[in-house]
Structures are given as C-alpha cells and as structure tokens.
C-alpha cells in the first residue's frame, strides 16, 4: 500500500523529525511511503507555496491512503490534502489512532 504523510510543515522547526518517524513506522508495516518533508530538500529554494502544494497533490494522487500526523487540522496544506483525499476516495487514517491500534495488537498493517 502506498501512503502519503500529511501534517504541518510551515512554522514547525521539528517537522522533518516527525515526518521521518512516521515514515519509518509505516515502512515497518510494509507500506510504501510518500514523505513530503523530504521533497522540500530537492525543490528550488524559490518554489512557491502553490507550486509545492501542486506537487504534493500530484504525489498524493498516486497513493492509496492519507496518513494524518498530529497537528494536521491547524495546517492549511494538510487540510487541502485532506479535501483532495476525500474527493478522490482515499483511505484516511489519523496517525495517532493507527499507532494505538498497532500497540494494542489490533492492527498489523493498514489497507
């Protein structure tokens, strides 16, 4: 299953760490992970917010599920990704709930 990580990036100095931890967790559950936090390091420095969002939505379109990291509700970009996921009938999972389910042994993988 391909999953896309969604959460706050702008104004969060620790976003790379948070996204990387989620990426590792999802890879350990046999998911292919699209991590938009990594995308930031390969884009031109003058890429606009809208250009970045367009790329993010294209990548999300290639995925089966949207994984919502903590704080996603306060992120304009994550809310746009959520709307796109709803409109394109993606599986939408809150990361914190997913972790609780896995810790309780009720879920080995998603999908």
Domain that holds residue 67: 2-103
Torsion over CA of 91, 81, 20 and 44, rounded to 10 degrees? Answer: 140
Q: Alpha-carbon distance 66 to 23, whole Å?
A: 12
pLDDT for 109? 54
pTM over 0.75? The answer is yes
Residue 109 in any domain: the answer is no
Give the residues across from 2 on adjacent strands.
32
Number of domains observed in the structure of the chain: 1
pLDDT digits (tens, 9 = 90+) for 63-75: 999 999 999 999 9
Q: Give phi and psi for 103, each to the nearest 5.
A: -65, -30
Residue 49 in any domain: the answer is yes
Q: Alpha-carbon distance 11 to 88, whole Å?
A: 28
Domain of residue 49, CATH code: 3.40.50.10400
């Amino acid at each position: 299953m391909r999953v896309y990580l969604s959460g706050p990036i702008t104004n969060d100095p620790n976003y790379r760490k948070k996204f990387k931890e989620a990426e590792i967790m999802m890879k350990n559950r046999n998911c292919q992970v699209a991590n938009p936090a990594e995308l930031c390091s390969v884009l031109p420095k003058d890429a606009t917010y809208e250009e970045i969002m367009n790329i993010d939505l294209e990548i999300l379109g290639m995925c089966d599920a949207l994984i919502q990291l903590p704080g996603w509700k306060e992120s304009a970009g994550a809310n746009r990704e959520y709307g796109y996921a709803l409109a394109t009938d993606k599986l939408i999972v809150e990361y914190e709930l997913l972790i609780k389910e896995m810790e309780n042994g009720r879920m080995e993988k998603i999908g």
